[in-house]
Structure 1
Amino acid sequence: METVIMGASARTSHAQVVGELGKAIVSGQFPVGSILPGDGELAMRFKVSRTVLREAMKTLAAKGLIVPRARIGTRVTEKSQWNLFDNDILTWHFNGGVDEEFLYHLSEIRLAFEPHAAELAARNATEAEISNMMRLAVAMGDENHSAETLAGADLKFHIAVLEASGNPFMRTVGGLIEAALVGVFKLSSPVEDKSGIAEISRNHIRIVEQISRRDEPAARAAMEHVIRVGRERVREAFRQDEGSRA
């Protein structure tokens, strides 16, 4: 989240090559089906050794972005092969700018996972976990939040729900949730409207209240409401942007 919102990034040689090539592929600078420049040219471009370059290429291949072909070169794969659950790939999408459809798809994935996680949390969460989730939900109501700190507080809450579900697989979707929240807050953060911050906090407190009551259907519904509200805020931001350009 810090990388996307604040522009911070790792500066190791390996990370630099992976990041710059990854962004170039996701943005379409190297289109699907195209062949990347040769190792010698890329090593000179990034001022790294061939060893560093090869390791970077292995990383990009593991993410599904490229595939080496003997006597042909390294080809950019079809988008259907990209691992969209990968945090880096999601970050590169946001760096290049995302459209409403992309964020809508993210919200659909959230609706597939998070309401069930809230339902499981109502069944499995310990009292300590419930107390922690309530603390995080209340903290979201701090009127001094910036867009960045509110996004961070929101993420901590949703990760806490995933962990309280008791299902270890749920935590692996955290990267998708992070990407979705970054998208929501970059497009339309409610920090200028103090009542908006208070409403977000209340909606999240309601999730914890239902979890605390062990009311599984109500916990699911409360989480669905939070995700749908965020999705509508994104839609409204796109509508306003289109109106300003008309």
Structure 2
Amino acid sequence: MSFVHSGARSEKASNHTNFVVEQLGRAIVAGEYPPNTMIPLDPDICEMFGVSRTVVREAKKTLIAKGLIQSKAKVGTHVRSSDDWNMFDEDVLRWHATLRNPAKFYEDLFEIRMIFEPAAAARAAEQANSIDSARLTELCDDMANATDHASFAIADYEFHKQVLKLSDNRFLHSLGNMVQTALYSMFLIEADQAFPESKTDVAHKHRVIALAIASGEASKASKAMTDVIRESYNRTRVTP
């Protein structure tokens, strides 16, 4: 007889729960289970994924917390309207970013970035100094010198994250982390149509933001950030 440490059992159950959450969450976001329709019954989910009812219950609790489903006694579990989904949940964002046709999601993401990132850049210019902004310049260099699409995307992602950090606003920082998670996911799955030809130009536009923040020019930083976001959207736009 072999014995399994209780911690190992717990970790295994957690992995199974995460797997079920991932599969059902992706399916719901992709429209395989449309709003107001029922998801499979617990025994069917158990059979689909080869997991226990305990795992299924925990997975459903997670999806309920994300706003994707609602469970009612004697009625069952149905998918909620997409308006009720928690779009600031990192998993929900990521699932949208990996849709086969994420055009509408990307448009919404562009709009929200245009609302808060230029404001964050202006705020950073008011708060930061040349020493604080040194990291932004380094990341511009990383973009210009990137040798592959992934390293370019990471530098771009870290640049915007650093601007939000320099805004010295915890709400902006947290909001940016979630939105940038989705943006980074989309950026990596896009075709390399804009790389490496445009990387120098993109790095230069980001450098304008960095210089404006370092010199305390709030309005210039805001405008430069607006230009970068708009150019990024046009460069990687997903057509329906």
Say if 1:118 and 1:223, in contact at 8 Å, map to a contact too.
yes
Q: Does 1:29 align with 2:29?
A: no
**Structure 2 residue aligned with 1:197:** 199
Q: Does 1:43 align with 2:64?
A: no
Secondary structure, aligned partner of 1:109: helix
**Structure 2 residue aligned with 1:54:** 57
1:134-149 matches, cutoff 5 A? 134-144=137-147, 146-149=148-151
Per-residue Cα deviation, 1:190-211 (whole angstroms, up to 9, x for no partner): 2241xx1111111111101000
* Offset at residue 102 of structure 1 (A): 2.3
Per-residue Cα deviation, 1:13-64 (whole angstroms, up to 9, x for no partner): 1210000000111111111111112212212222222222211111101110
Q: Which has the larger radius of gyration?
A: 2
Q: Does 1:80 align with 2:83?
A: yes
Structure (1 or 2) with the greater helix fraction: 1
- Identity over the aligned pairs, expressed in percent? 34
**Structure 2 residue aligned with 1:5:** none
**Structure 1 residue aligned with 2:161:** 159
Distance 1:80 1:101 in 2: 14
Secondary structure, aligned partner of 2:71: strand
**Structure 2 residue aligned with 1:117:** 120
Runs of 4+ in 1 over 6 A off after TM superposition: none
* Offset at residue 180 of structure 1 (A): 2.7
The one-letter amino acid of 1:208's match is A
Aligned residues: 225
Distance verdict in 2 for CA 1:143–1:36, change over 3 Å: closer
> Of residues 10, 15, 18 in structure 2, which corresponds to 1:12?
15
Say if 1:151 and 1:182, in contact at 8 Å, map to a contact too.
no
1:170-185 matches, cutoff 5 A? 170-173=172-175, 174-184=177-187
The one-letter amino acid of 1:221's match is K
TM-score by length of 2: 0.87
- Report the RMSD for the aligned CA atoms in angstroms: 1.8
* Offset at residue 126 of structure 1 (A): 4.7
Distance 2:44 2:189 in 1: 36
Q: Which runs of 5+ in 1 are unaligned?
A: 1-10
Secondary structure, aligned partner of 1:169: helix
